[in-house]
Amino acid sequence: MMIRLLMKGGLFLALSSVAVAIRAQPKLFPASIPGKAGFINQQGRIVIPFEFNIAGDFSEGLARVKVGDKWGYVDETGKVVIAPQFSGARSFSEGLARVQVGGDKYEY
């Protein structure tokens, strides 16, 4: 936060400039039943079928999903946009996602 003081007519006026980041509320949420995961909407309806082993939150329009022992990414329609090929995967942030490509090696 930045605060600026101005003197006007013998009085100090404090002006502040605050930047606020507003995130879009997610439309879909990961949900699971024993052994399978998919995505539901705010009303609790299944939108993306329970066909993954694990499902993560959506970030920047993509969610990480685990199929077998590999991670990939799906879009909000359930389309696999990055095929499961990684040993580990994190959520997207500023257009990048950290993925584990084997052993302990991570890349963006």
Burial 13-25 (b: 16+ CB within 10 A, else e): eeeeeeeeeeeee
Per-residue pLDDT tens for 30-86? 999 999 999 999 999 999 999 999 999 999 999 999 999 999 999 999 999 999 999
Does residue 12 surpass a pLDDT of 80? no
Residue type (1 letter), 51: E
Q: What's this model's pTM, rounded to 2 decimal places?
A: 0.75
Burial 84-95 (b: 16+ CB within 10 A, else e): bebebbbebeee
Question: 59, exposed or middle or buried, with CB in 10 Å at 0-12, 13-18, 19+?
Answer: middle
Average pLDDT over residues 11-18: 48
Per-residue pLDDT tens for 89-105? 999 999 999 999 877 88
